[in-house]
């Protein structure tokens, strides 16, 4: 998996959790096209770096216990190539995309 795929994947994971639309671990695994075991590893890894994730048994979905904001910036020289902030993506004209 390319690193940009990892960034887009994490953007998707965080979005699903923020919207409380993951479902249980089996449903979440299907949405992410991965095994249930890997979903548990992913959640564990996210918790270990500080994401406040919990499983809501009432709604049967993963949630954040606090508001989560994140930012990823790739910079080469003086140009911002890719900036992902708070779930919104902005691509530089270098790639020919605007606000996807």
pLDDT of residue 88 exceeding 50: no
What domains are defined for the chain? 3-64 (1.10.10.10), 69-100 (no CATH)
pLDDT digits (tens, 9 = 90+) for 6-45: 888 888 999 999 999 999 999 999 999 999 999 999 999 9
Predicted TM-score (pTM) of this structure: 0.70
Neighbours of 33 (CB within 10 A): 7
Q: What is the pLDDT of residue 82?
A: 56
- Mean pLDDT over 46-72 rounds to 92
6 vs 20: CA distance, rounded Å? 21
If 0-12 CB within 10 Å is exposed, 13-18 middle and 19+ buried, where does residue 66 land?
A: exposed
* Alpha carbon of residue 74 to chain centroid: 16
């Amino acid at each position: 998996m390319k690193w940009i795929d990892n960034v887009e994947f994490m953007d998707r994971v965080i979005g699903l959790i923020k919207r409380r639309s993951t479902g249980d671990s089996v449903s979440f695994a299907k949405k992410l096209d991965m095994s249930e075991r890997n979903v548990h590893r992913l959640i564990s890894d996210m918790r270990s770096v500080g994401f406040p994730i919990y499983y809501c048994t009432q709604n049967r979905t993963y949630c954040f216990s606090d508001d989560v904001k994140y930012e990823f910036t790739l910079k080469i020289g003086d140009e911002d190539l890719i900036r992902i902030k708070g779930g919104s993506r902005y691509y530089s004209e270098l790639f020919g995309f605007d606000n996807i």
